[in-house]
Amino acid sequence: MGLQVVGAGHGRTGTYSQKLALEKLLVAPCYHMREVFGRKSDVEMWRQAADGVMPDWNQFFDGYAAAVDWPVALFWEEIAAAFPDALVLLSVRDAEEWWTSASNTIFNSDKQTESPAFQEMVSAITDNRFTPDYLDKDASIAAFNAHNQSVRDSIPESRLLEYSVDQGWEPLCHALDLPIPDEPFPVSNTSEEWGKKKKGAFTSVTDE
């Protein structure tokens, strides 16, 4: 199949809504951090990638038509190079709003519910691909803005879609040359929903 969309936008920029929308449009699965929760082999793969040992991306994403959210966004450049015809989707959000959402959800995880392997993966990808000071507001926002600018500077405009989920279906459909679905754009995984769903989400990511 091969990826048709590579997500370069950070988590908490509407990436789960994007996953649902892309699965509707492309009629195929979209990889998201939620895939990692239940697949120990993926946890180890991403940790190794953060240390510079990259997988065969074509093999890893076999069966998926798109990939968004962390960890994908932190490796967007390598993944986009492996799928040269794929659209690069940079989902954006006001930096202050993003920090508020991220610090209340993904940066505020209960470590007791996460496996040591998952914690090691998160530390590796944040230290090596984002910032080791991600719990500090100024450092995290600076890394967020620097990442987004790097994407803009690194990919041709003809291949890049800078996108906010409040724009709905139209930009995605236009970029992918697909008809607009006759249904509302999916809105899911708000901060409130995340808190409810997070309980137990990591329990299947266990160590042997």
Query: Domains in the chain, start-ordered, CATH in brackets?
Result: 5-198 (3.40.50.300)
**pLDDT tens-digit map of 31-50:** 999 999 878 899 999 999 99
Residue listed under structure tokens 């724009």: 167
Nearest C-alpha neighbor of 76 from the set 124, 174, 148: 148
Taking the model in full, what pTM does it have? 0.89
For residue 124, how many other CB atoms are within 10 A of its CB? 17
pLDDT tens, residue by residue, 87-140: 999 999 999 999 999 998 888 865 545 688 899 999 999 999 999 999 999 999
Given this model, what pLDDT does residue 37 score? 85
- Residue 77: Cβ-neighbour burial (10 angstroms; 0-12, 13-18, 19+): middle
